[in-house]
Amino acid sequence: MSSPYVESYAVDGTELVSIGEASTKIKSVLKMLGIPSDLIRRAAVVAYEAEMNLVIHGGGGEMELEVWPECIKISAVDTGPGIPDIGKAMTEGFSTAPEKIREMGFGAGMGLPNIKRNSDGFELLSEVGKGTTLRSEILLQKT
Ligand SMILES: Nc1ncnc2c1ncn2[C@@H]1O[C@H](COP(=O)(O)OP(=O)(O)OP(=O)(O)O)[C@@H](O)[C@H]1O
Ligand SMILES: [Mg+2]
């Protein structure tokens, strides 16, 4: 069995200057590896929305990209406030983003539903006061 291509990215929760950096890097790595463009597009949505949530809600954290022959795995882990009700958070239009963030164009409550829609495998684990872990998988070879 071959080993995956792995990269991790620290996502700063305070420095808005570097916002979008991790997802931009993930996109270019996938291009470099020759992943089909429709799958790159899906992975880019997952990475971007996951990164925004890390910054806006999670206080920053870490993202990881794994590229296997059969799938792409993207994870985002933070030790922020956590999500009290995962079902609510997954509902289209639900957002706790503050006014200031909404003025910047975020907070439509569409990030998590969009991540799920673009993933073949999706997992969201969270504990209030401890943090949140999101895992997404996109299949490269449909079996
Ligand atoms: N990493 C996280 N830590 C804590 N809460 C989170 C995290 N990610 C999501 N949430 C909660 O889930 C809600 C829904 O997330 P989602 O990404 O769908 O929408 P949003 O970030 O509020 O808006 P949008 O993504 O459309 O800009 C958030 O408003 C927030 O309450
Ligand atoms: Mg979001």
pLDDT in tens, 30-51: 999 999 999 999 999 999 999 9
Tell me which residue range forms the domain holding 101.
Answer: 5-139
Q: List, as ranges, residues with CB under 5 A of the ion ligand 2.
A: 53, 111
Compute the distance from residue 25 Cα to the ligand 1 centre, in Å.
22
Number of folded domains that form the chain: 1
Which domain CATH number covers 90?
3.30.565.10
pTM, 2 dp: 0.96
Given pLDDT bands bounded at 50, 70 and 90, which one contains residue 1?
low
Closest C-alpha among 98, 8, 85 to residue 57: 98
Compute the distance from residue 40 Cα to the ligand 1 centre, in Å.
23
| Contacts of 28 by beta carbon, 8 Å cutoff, 6+ apart | none
